[in-house]
Amino acid sequence: MKVLLLYPEFPDTFWSLKHALRFIRKKSAYPPLGLLTVAAMLPAHWSPRLIDLNVAKLTEADLAWADCAFISAMAVQRKSAQEVISRCKEAGLTVVAGGPLFTAEHEQFTGVDHFVLNEAEITLPRFLEDFEKGCAKRCYTTPQFCDIQKTPPPRWDLLDLKQYGGMGIQFSRGCPFNCEFCNVTVLFGHRPRMKSPEQMTRELDDLYRLGWRGPVFFVDDNFIGNKTYLKTELLPALIRWRQGKKGMPFNTEASINLADDAPLMGMMVEAGFDAVFIGIETPEESGLAECNKSQNKNRDLVEDVHRIQRAGLQVQGGFIVGFDSDTRSIFQRQIDFIQKSGIVTAMVGPLQAPPGTRLYERLKKENRLKGIFIGDNVGGTTNIIPKMGIEALNEGYRKLMLQIYSPKLYYRRIRTFLREYQAPEIRVPLDLQRFLALFRSGIRLGVLGGERMQYWKTLLWTFFRRPGLLPLAVTLAIYGHHFQKICKVLPS
Ligand code: B12
């Protein structure tokens, strides 16, 4: 059986990082880990070929080669996913779809022969058995969650590694918290399920052996969901693994209570983590109470962020505006918070209700859903009717984004962050493209760019105050260039 594993194209979004990746001549931020994992579960006599449409074209020759197509997607890839499905159908392929978009909204899609939803570890074997017998059903689902200690290592060998800015690797699934707007617990449950340290070091070894030295993103919903296991099992193994290795800095996602645990942060840094994404959401206690983000309540969030930065972890943050309790003052409150905390990469979005979440169900009952869930939470659109009124939300949101990504505020944030940050030792070896990116940024941002004054001011400041952080300052400047481009196309 010849199978195409297809990953639809991302539009130009905040997280596509397309305008930044050009500086290092990469085409996409991360590969599709779900499909690489599914590939590892296919029968040995099947021949899989991966085509990530973000780095390569799907040609007629590819379609003619294949017997069937396996498609994975997030909501943000919806348009490209539908196009890919239609092309495969026209070429006479059997189309199989799975992953977060289809698990949440499969009934929206035409042209798919078989939906294999939820975790493939459970549903794929059932589908494969029926398929080989010629009696496959239209839809496979399960309310259960799998044992990820049995998940096979992803098929990295199917990738052209050079095309990507980073690699993803997964340690755990699930999150102990219960935020109203988040669909992670619906998709992956409350109880964090962890891989063994041996599984993790085996996956890292595979990547290292293939020559990967760039960043590795632990794509966990909450990396610190089980702190005891981390401290006693995983992190000691990662610290040992790292000895004698070059590059491969790690980053991940965690909850804010990471700030309470200095030994844990210390171990993470020693293991090679240098950045962490945290859902801050809002500095307003009323908004946090409303969305049940209890872990963020009654804290000095700015001080928490600084503590994490001082431990050696860059903090990237997620923020939301448009909670029912938000008034028009929220936009300025968010700007002030983001500036004070020195969160350079601040993902701010209007509140959205992903299908399957408790928020979606509540707003459906209140008749406050409108349009489809686009899935790009920094695109300036929403599928909810906010209490403050959609015009006020849109206008406030747009102004907020234009402000925080204006060169003046953005570069000021870089300096605030670099002042706090205690950089860990691990460095990505400076390959030719990263070296050239320094020059490209000098010309694109320092000569041609509207931000040139701020660019040189910040580089000079870093050179004199934190010279070791100069490459990081340039990297953040390049990210800023991407974010400014995204802000320019926000709907007005
Ligand atoms: C890593 C990640 C990213 C990365 C890169 C992803 C990439 N290149 O593929 C980055 C940071 C770029 C990213 C960005 C975004 N992400 Co994201 N991301 C994740 C995260 C944390 C992990 C995904 C992953 O690799 N998992 C590991 C693999 C092994 O699991 P998996 O993909 O789910 O695959 C399993 C099953 O789903 C299934 N499966 C998957 N595909 C297929 C296909 C077939 C045929 C079959 C049979 C089975 C199958 O089998 C696999 C094994 O069980 C998830 C949360 C999560 N826990 O999954 C969110 C998640 C996928 N992201 C989400 C969102 C919303 C976004 C953003 C829109 C957020 C934003 N702020 O704008 C952006 C959009 C991307 C863009 N470019 O615009 C949502 C998607 C919701 C939805 N319904 O679509 C998720 C679920 C998080 C959430 N809380 O809602 N993301």
Q: What does the H/E/C string look like for the chain?
A: CEEEEEECCCCCCHHHCHHHHHHHCCCECCCCHHHHHHHCCCCCCCEEEEEECCCCCCCHHHHHHCCEEEEECCHHHHHHHHHHHHHHHHCCCEEEEECHHHHHHHHHCCCCCEEECCCHHHHHHHHHHHHHHCCCCCEECCCCCCCHHHCCCCCHHHCCHHHECCEEECCEECCCCCCCCCCHHHHHCCCCEECCHHHHHHHHHHHHHCCCCCCEEECCCCCCCCHHHHHHHHHHHHHHHHCCCCCCCEEEEECHHHHHCHHHHHHHHHHCEEEEEEEEECCCHHHHHHCCCHHHCCCCHHHHHHHHHHHCCEEEEEEEECCCCCCCCHHHHHHHHHHHHCCCCEEEEECCCCCCCHHHHHHHHCCCECCCCCCCCCCCCCCECCCCCHHHHHHHHHHHHHHHCCHHHHHHHHHHHHHHCCCCCCCCCCCHHHHHHHHHHHHHCCCCCCCHHHHHHHHHHHHHHCHHHHHHHHHHHHHHHHHHHHHHCCCC
The Cα 243–Cα 139 span in angstroms is 46
Q: What is the pLDDT of residue 463?
A: 94
For residue 150, the CA-to-ligand 1 centroid distance in Å is 20
The Cα 490–Cα 401 span in angstroms is 9
- Protein residues whose CB sits closer than 6 Å to any atom of ligand 1: 10, 13-16, 29-30, 32-35, 37-38, 70-72, 74-76, 96-101, 104, 116, 119-121, 124, 168, 170, 173, 182-184, 187-188, 219, 221, 347, 354, 375-378
Ligand 1 atom at minimal distance to the Cα of residue 36: 29
The Cα 15–Cα 378 span in angstroms is 9
Q: Looking at ligand 1, which residue's alpha carbon is closest to its atom 2? A: 219
Among residues 90, 103, 10, 12, the alpha carbon closest in space to that of 52 is found at 10
Residues ≥6 apart with Cβ < 8 Å to 357:
180, 181, 182, 183, 186
Low-confidence stretches of the chain (pLDDT beneath 70) = 426-430
Q: Looking at ligand 1, which residue's alpha carbon is closest to its atom 8? A: 30
Ligand 1 atom at minimal distance to the Cα of residue 146: 53
Q: What is the pLDDT of residue 428?
A: 64
Q: What is the pLDDT of residue 186?
A: 82
Q: Which residue has the tokens 């219960």?
A: 178
